[in-house]
A and B are shown apart, each in its own frame.
Chain A
Amino acid sequence: MSAEAATAGAPQLRVELRGVGKSFGGTWVLQDIDLEIEPGRVHALVGENGAGKSTLSKIISGIYTADTGSLVVGGEEVSFGSPREALDRGIATIAQELALVPALSVAENVFLGREPRRGGFLDRRQLRRLFLELAGPTGFDLNPDAPVGTLRTADQQKVEILRALARGASFIIMDEPTAALAGRDAELLHGVVRRLAASGTTVLLISHFLGEVLELADTVTILRDGRHIRTSPAAQETESSLIEGMLGRSLGSVFPDKSEPPVGTDAVLEVEGLVAPGVNDVTFEVRAGEIVGLAGLVGAGRSEIAHAVYGAMPRTSGTVRVGGAEVPADVPGALRSGLFLIAESRKEQGLVLGRPIRDNVTLSNLAQLAVGGWVRTGAERRESREALARVTVAGDDRRNVSALSGGNQQKVLFARALQRQRKVLVADEPTRGVDVGSRRAIYDLIAEQARAGIGVVVISSDVEEVLGLAHRVLVVRGGRIVAELTGAQMTEENILNAAFAQPTASERPTATNERRGDEEA
C-alpha cells in the first residue's frame, strides 16, 4: 500500500537511528542500528524473539535510552528521558497490554487527563464533540459513551490509538497489535492501520505474523540478534525471504539433538476429562522420557491446563494421575506425587525477588531439608550448590536472586525443580526473556530430564521451540486440545492451522496469511 496520500493535521516525523546500541547487564541486545523511518508509512520490524524489536521500539518511544549512537527525530537529535517526552514529540506506543480504565467511557478514556472542563466539572457535551471530531477522519466506529470494559479487544485498541492521536501523536508504534486478536478482530485492526497511514500517520509495526507484515507494510526491517540485517520495500520480500533473514542460523545449533521418542514406556502423567476455569474437558498423557509440547495462541488455555494439572487452580471435574496414583488438587499434594511446574512468569509466579538465590532454589524442598522445622544449613548449602552447578549458574548463592540475568533466574527455577527427582516436569514458557546462550542451556536441561525418564511438558508460544524440543505436540485452542501431532505431522503449518482454527481460516483471503508465528514475550 502506498502512503504518499493524504497528509493530515499533525506534523510528519522522520525518525532516524544512527549507530544505536543498547546493552542489558553486559549483553548487547542491539548493536549498530542505522535505520530511517519515512513519515506517513507503515514500517514493519520483524525478527525472532529476542532479536531486539521491542528494545528498538522502546528506544524510539523513550522507555529506554540508547547506550551508543543517536536518535534523530524530525532532523533534530533527541534523547528522551521518558515516554512522556517522546509523546510530546508526537511518538506514541500502543502496547500489547492496554492501559485503559475499564469503568470509564470510550470518550473519557481517549481524553484521559485532558478532559474538557467547565468550572471544574467534566464538560460532557464538549467531550462528545471533540471525540467525534477526532474519530471521524479515522473511520473508527465507536460509541463514545460505552464503558471501555465492555468493548472487545480490537475496539479497545482503537481507543488506545485515538488516545494517542488526541495527544498529538503522528508516529505510532504498535507492538504485536494482533497477537491477542482472533481472526475477525485482526482483520478489523488491519483496516485501522491502513486508515492511519492513509491519514498521514507513521506506523511502526512490530509483528511475528509475516502475512500481516507483507500485507500491511510499505517497508520491512529485519533484525537478528540485535543487528540490522536489511531494510527493503515490502513488495520485494516474500515470507521465505523474511524467514531466511530472521533466522540466519541453524535450528540445530539452538536445539539439542532430539532423543528417540520413547517406545513402550508407561504413562507417567495421565489427565482425564479435566475441567477447570479456562480448561474444557482436557485428556492427554505423557509417557516416561517423552517431551510433549503444548502449543497454541496466548489465551488459548495452555497455562490454565498446566495450573489445573498442578493443583494451583480448583478443578471442576476430571482426574490427574502421576505414575498411576491420583494427584490431589493442591500444590503440596502435586509436589509430593512428583509433579513440578515452572510457571510462566518467573518474576510474578516463580521467584521471591528480595531473597537470596539459595533460598529460592530450596523453597520447594525445605520439608526435606528441615528436621523438625529446623533448616539444616549445611545440607541446604550443599544441595543448593549442587543444583546450581547442574543448571550452570555460577557465583555465590547468597546473593539476591534479583542480581541475576533473566536467563540465570530461569535456571534458578530449574534448579528448584531438579533438586529432587521428579516424575513429571511442566515448563511454561521456559525461555521467555532469556538470552540465546542460556536458552540452549535450558533446552539441554529439558532434553536431559527426558532422557532420565521424566515426562516433560513444554508450553511455548514459540512454535520453533515446540518443534525443536517435543516428541509430540498438542495444540490448544479455547481450553481444549484440538490437535495431536506426531512425527511428520509436526510442522509449523499444522500447528498454526490448528491453533487458528477453521472459522478463522475461511475468513483469511490468501493462503499466505495462514503462516503465523506467535507473539513475543
Chain B
Amino acid sequence: MTQPDKITSTTAVKAPDSPPSFASRIPWRSVAIVVPFVVVFIFLSAFPGSNFLTFLNITNVLDRQAGMLIIAAASTLVLIAGGLDLSVGATYMFTAVICGTFVIKVGGVAGVWAGIVAALLAGLLVGLINGVISTYLKINPLIATLAMSFIILGTTKLVSQFGKEGIGQIRVDFPEFRWIATTKLLGISLPIWIAFVVIVVLGIMLWRTRFGRYIYAAGGNAEAARLAGIRVNLVRIATFAITGLGAGLAGVIDLARTPSAPENDAIATSLTFTVLAGIVVGGTSILGGEGAIWRTVLGILFIAMLYNGFTLLKVDPLFQGIALGAIILIAVGFDAWSRFRRR
C-alpha cells in the first residue's frame, strides 16, 4: 500500500481549559443550606418574645436531636457511597427495645452495660446484613433496606414480649441507666456531647481519610473505583455497618432520655423519613458521590429549628409537615438545578 504525501496540519487550535465563570465558582450546593439556615435562625432569634435564642431552648432542641443527628450523620456516608438505608428508624427502635430488655431482665449495673453492648451489637449486625444483601446479593438498597425494616419491626415486637410485664412500653426509669441522658458537662447534656463527637469523628473520617475518599469514589463512579483497586462492596458494607451502629447508639441515648422504648412503627417510619429529609435538605445528593456531614447536621437542625419555631410562634403544628415537604422539594429542585448549571 502506498503511503500518501504528508503535510503537517495545525488547524485544531487548542485553548487552555477555560476558567470557570463567576457564577459557576459559587458553591451553590453549600449556599443552598447555609443561607436559609442563617435566615431562619436570625428570624426566630429576632422575633419579639419568641424565646428561641435562649440557652435552655437551644440545648433542649439539641438534646432532643442528638440521636437523630447521629443516625443522619452515619446515613450520609451510606448515601455518598451510593447506597440508601430506609431501615434506620426500625433499627433505632429495635436497639432501644433490646437495650431495655437487657436492662430489665439482667438488672443492676451489669444489666445496663449488657443492654448498651447488646444494642450496639444489634445495630451493627443489622447494618452488616443491610450491607451484604445490597452489595454481594445485588438487591437494590432501597428494596433491601425497606424489606429489612419490616423484618426488624417484626423482630422488635418479638423481643419486647420478653422485656415487659403485661402491656405497655418497656420502661427503664432507673438512675443506673438514665445517667446517660441526665449527666451534664459544662451545662450541656451527655447526648449532645456524644452526638458532637460522632459528628466530628465521622466528618473528619470522610474528609481526611482513605476510607472517606473511597466512600466518595464508590458513590461517584463505582466501576471506576473498582478498576482503581477499591473494594467497592466492602466500602459500602462498612457505611451500612456504621449506620447500624449509629442507630444502635441513638436507640440507647433516646431510651435513657425518654426513658421508655418507643414501640410504634409510625415513629420508626417518620424517623427514617426525617433523617433522609435532613440529608437531602442539607444538599447531599441522593445519587451518591457528593455531600458532607456538616451539611446533614445543618439540614437536620434546620428542620428541628423550623418545628421549634412553629411551636414557639404557636403556629398550628399541622402546617409543619406541609412546610417541610415544600422545603424538601425546593432543596431537591435546587440540587437538580446546580447539577445542571455545572454542565
Contact = CB atoms under 8 A, between A and B. Distances in A.
A465 B20 CA distance: 34
Interface stretch (A157-165, A170-178, A344-352): A344-352
Contacts of A354: 216, 220, 289-290
Contact of B221 (A351, A435, A438, A493): A351
Interface string A342-374: 010000111111110001000110110110011
A26 B217 contact: no
Contacts of B231: 332
Nearest to A24: B15
A363 B208 contact: no
Contact of A437 (B6, B14, B217): B14
B138 interface: no
Contact of B9 (A249, A251, A491): A249
B213 A375 contact: yes
Nearest to A403: B17
A416 B231 CA distance: 18
Nearest to B216: A355
A353 B6 CA distance: 38
B3 interface: yes
A29 interface: yes
Given A224-B9, A352-B220, A341 B225 contact: no
A413 to B, nearest CB: 9
A81 B17 CA distance: 26
Contacts of B20: 399, 403
Contact of B6 (A247, A312, A373, A408): A247
A366 B15 CA distance: 32
A405 B18 CA distance: 9
B220 A375 contact: no
Contacts of A335: 229
B88 to A, nearest CB: 25
B210 A29 contact: no
Interface in B137-170: none
Contact of A227 (B2, B11, B221, B290): B11
A366 B210 contact: yes
B227 interface: yes
Nearest to B208: A375
B41 interface: no
B184 interface: no
B226 interface: yes
Contacts of B3: 251
B211 A491 contact: no
A110 B64 CA distance: 60
A142 to B, nearest CB: 35
Given A244-B5, A247-B6, A248-B7, A26 B13 contact: yes
A350 B224 contact: yes
Identify whether the interface residues of B are mostly helix, strand, loop, or mixed: loop
A301 B211 CA distance: 34
A228 to B, nearest CB: 11
A394 interface: yes
Contact of A349 (B8, B212, B216, B224): B224
A352 B289 contact: yes
Interface string A426-449: 000000000111100000000000
Contact of A250 (B8, B230, B342): B8
A27 interface: yes
A355 B6 contact: no
Given A250-B6, A341-B227, A416-B228, A26 B16 contact: yes
B16 A349 contact: no
A436 B14 CA distance: 9
B210 A373 contact: yes
A267 B11 CA distance: 42
A225 interface: yes
A510 interface: no
A251 B11 CA distance: 16
A349 B4 contact: no
B237 to A, nearest CB: 16
Given A224-B9, A247-B4, A247-B6, A363 B17 contact: no
B210 A370 contact: yes
Contact of B213 (A31, A331, A366, A435): A366
B1 interface: yes
B12 interface: yes
B229 A331 contact: yes
A9 interface: no
A352 B221 contact: yes
Contacts of A352: 216-217, 220-221, 224-225, 289
A416 B61 CA distance: 47
Contacts of B18: 25-26
A236 interface: no
Contact of A26 (B15, B228, B289, B290): B15
B223 interface: yes
B311 interface: no
Contacts of A25: 15, 17-18
B221 to A, nearest CB: 5
A437 B14 CA distance: 7
B209 interface: yes
A200 interface: no
B11 to A, nearest CB: 4
Contacts of A515: 1
A240 interface: yes
A215 interface: no
Given A25-B15, A252-B6, A437-B12, A370 B1 contact: no
Contacts of A253: 6, 8
Interface in A235-294: 240, 243-244, 247-253
A515 B2 CA distance: 13
Contact of B210 (A26, A348, A367, A402): A367
A226 interface: yes
Given A352-B217, A374-B208, 19 more contacts: A25-B17, A26-B16, A28-B11, A224-B9, A225-B11, A226-B11, A240-B1, A253-B8, A331-B226, A341-B227, A343-B227, A349-B227, A352-B225, A354-B289, A355-B216, A359-B217, A363-B225, A374-B210, A403-B20
- What 9 A-B pairs are tightest by C-beta distance, nearest first? A26-B15, A250-B6, A244-B4, A352-B220, A370-B210, A225-B11, A335-B229, A363-B228, A366-B210
Interface of A: 25-29, 31, 50, 224-227, 240, 243-244, 247-253, 310, 312, 331-332, 334-335, 341, 343, 348-355, 359, 363-364, 366-367, 369-370, 373-375, 377, 394-395, 399-400, 402-405, 408, 416, 435-438, 491-493, 515
18 contacts: A25-B17, A25-B18, A27-B15, A28-B12, A31-B11, A225-B11, A248-B4, A249-B9, A352-B216, A359-B213, A370-B210, A375-B210, A394-B16, A399-B20, A404-B17, A405-B17, A416-B228, A438-B14
